[in-house]
Amino acid sequence: MWDYLQHLSFWDWLAFGTLLLILEVFGAGGYLLWVGVAAAGVGVITYLFPTLPWTWQFLLFGIMSVLTAVLWWRRQRHAAKPSDQPGLNQRGQEFVGRTFQLHEAIVDGRGKIKAGDSVWLVSGPDLPAGTPIKVTGQDGVLLKVEAAA
């Protein structure tokens, strides 16, 4: 084992980095990406300095693994900014506060309205079809409504 460690080549590091990156493809969630990149980086350094002792190689690998992960984490944290379209992919939120007419009567708390080019399920007090209603909220695909004043 010691003999193997003392004769680590850049191929060993590149193979290890490749293996980690392949495992990352199978769904590690980003945990192995930066460790794999660090292993490939140590492979490049070992190619440039082939007499680098194995202890320094492992030390560089550890430092580079932590450094790449921390730098990426910091970049991601600073890159997260609020969206200029907060209602994107929340289609029912655009109807909150608007007034519509009931397309089908609300019976036992459920009915339908026609909003845009779609028919939406609504929940609220029992009301006859054609009654003006106001959308007050959304619960999944169900719009919460009340009688418009």
Residue 46 lies in a domain: yes
Q: Are residues 39 and 61 in the same domain?
A: yes
| Confidence grade of residue 2 (pLDDT, cut at 50, 70, 90) | low
**Is residue 101 predicted with pLDDT exceeding 70?**
yes
Per-residue confidence (pLDDT) for residue 10, from 0 to 100: 85
Q: How far apart are CA 145 and CA 102, in angstroms?
A: 10
Q: Are residues 45 and 69 in the same domain?
A: yes
CB 124 within 8 A of CB 106: yes
Q: How far apart are CA 69 and CA 118, in angstroms?
A: 46
Q: How many domains is the chain partitioned into structurally?
A: 2
112-142 residue pLDDT tens: 999 888 899 999 999 999 999 999 998 888 9
φ, ψ (nearest 5 deg) of residue 59: -65, -45
Residue 52 lies in a domain: yes
User: Strands (DSSP E) along 73-141, which ranges?
Assistant: 99-107, 110-115, 118-123, 132-139
Picking from 19, 16, 22, 18, the residue whose alpha carbon sits closest to that of residue 57 is 16
Residue 97 lies in a domain: yes
Q: Are residues 116 and 68 in the same domain?
A: no
CB 92 within 8 A of CB 122: no
Per-residue confidence (pLDDT) for residue 132, from 0 to 100: 93
pTM score, whole prediction: 0.52
Q: Are residues 117 and 62 in the same domain?
A: no
Please give the residue range of the domain that contains residue 33. 2-79
- If one counts every other C-beta atom within 10 angstroms of the C-beta of residue 121, the result is 14
**Domain containing 103 — which CATH number?**
2.40.50.140
Q: Are residues 127 and 73 in the same domain?
A: no
